Amino acid sequence: MSPVNVNQALKTTLCFAIQDKIGALEDCLSAIKAMDISLTRIESRPSKTKDWDYDFFVDFDAEDAKQVSNVVEGLRKHTKDVRVIGSDNSVGDSVPWFPRKLTDLDTFAEKVLEMGEELSSDHPGANDPVYRARRAEITRIAKTYRTGQAVPEIEYTDEENETWGKVFRHLTSMYPTHACREHQYVLPLLIQNCGYNDQRIPQIEQISRFLKDCTGFTIRPVMGLLSSRDFLNSFAFRVFYSTQYIRHSSKPFYTPEPDVCHELLGHVPLFADPDFADFSQEIGLASLGASDEDISKLATIFWFTVEFGLCRQDGEIKAYGAGLLSSFGELEYALSDKPDLRPFDPSKTAVQKYPITEFQPVYFVAESFKDAQEKVRDFAANMNRPFSVRYNALTQTIEVLDNKEKVVRFAKSIRDDMKTLATVLESLS
């Protein structure tokens, strides 16, 4: 995660409710304006609570926690229902800011900890000016992307396609004996529908449309490494951030950081599986508004599952983590008798230390993706968060379940679904 910058503005969202009467909104906005606050967004929608008519969401960059508190107190003179979603837990009942709608993910576009064009001195392409320039070019393309746009197409060079081909052929030869059945089932579909082959790198836009049809997951390009919080938050919306650049051709079987081989061969196939998609989103939903401590635990759970997870299928251990499915050496090592294999238990997995520059000494084995999802959900229920959330797939927004009225509304939607289920079961009997 990114280090805290004490001089950085606090991105803050206030939610307040008003009754439909003349001057109600004007009074609230005047109270904010009087404190020399410039709003970056204001949004309204019908209230989901019975005592109010409209909910308003306003975004602004606060100077400090005291300024946020002053704004809240000013608003409470005009409405009692004021809630804070901020970036500083010291602000009353505030929790860390989190995206509430799909377009909020656009705020992550330039919030990268490490740019894709920035290479460490030991990177195979560090001393190759042509490679560095190419990475910078692809990074700039990713920077321009916004929600709703088609993912920009990259015209890969012959050298880049050749590197991809070497990786593709080597890894796909190992999948029949090492990869989980879900990965093996989806890969032929990607070959058939998304142009997966050993001749050229497939395009993310085509893959994203395929995933959308399968599970609702989509892919968006990223400039570089995101913070754990931002990266995990995106999974709540079934969005995966993917790089578009590829490893250096001098070492096609090695990369010190995620590249397009890791993303498209390791991650993508399983996002087309409904159970794995549900599991991944569960981690994302748990990360919304979580404390820094809980984000660290969730990121560790993500590391040992989505990145380096193993599962038990038909009495055998198979790999489903993208870090394994995109690494020849570690894929073979993980399924040998060398590492320590432990049952997946989020409370224990969350605090397990791990190396990032060598093979893992410990792996966690899931019984199934659904079982892992339920365990993560139980883990999240015990986190220090004053509310629960759900993803509304129809509006592509996050609903915060923090009062009785919202919970009752949610229960009614479940009841309607149960009626539909009962009707279907009756017709099949």
Residues classed as catalytic: 262, 267, 307, 326
Cβ neighbors of 126 (< 8 A, separation 6 or more) are 119, 120, 132
Measuring CA to CA, how many Å separate 400 from each of 16, 186, 286, 327? 14, 34, 12, 39
Cβ neighbors of 272 (< 8 A, separation 6 or more) are 186, 189, 190, 210, 211, 214, 215, 217
Helices vs. strands in the chain: H and E counts, helices first: 16, 14
Q: What is the rounded CA–CA span in Å between residue 302 and residue 364? A: 11
List, as one string, the DSSP characters of 290-322.
--HHHHHHHHHHHIIIIIT-EEEETTEEEE--H
List, as one string, the DSSP characters of 157-179.
-HHHHHHHHHHHHHHHHHHHHHB
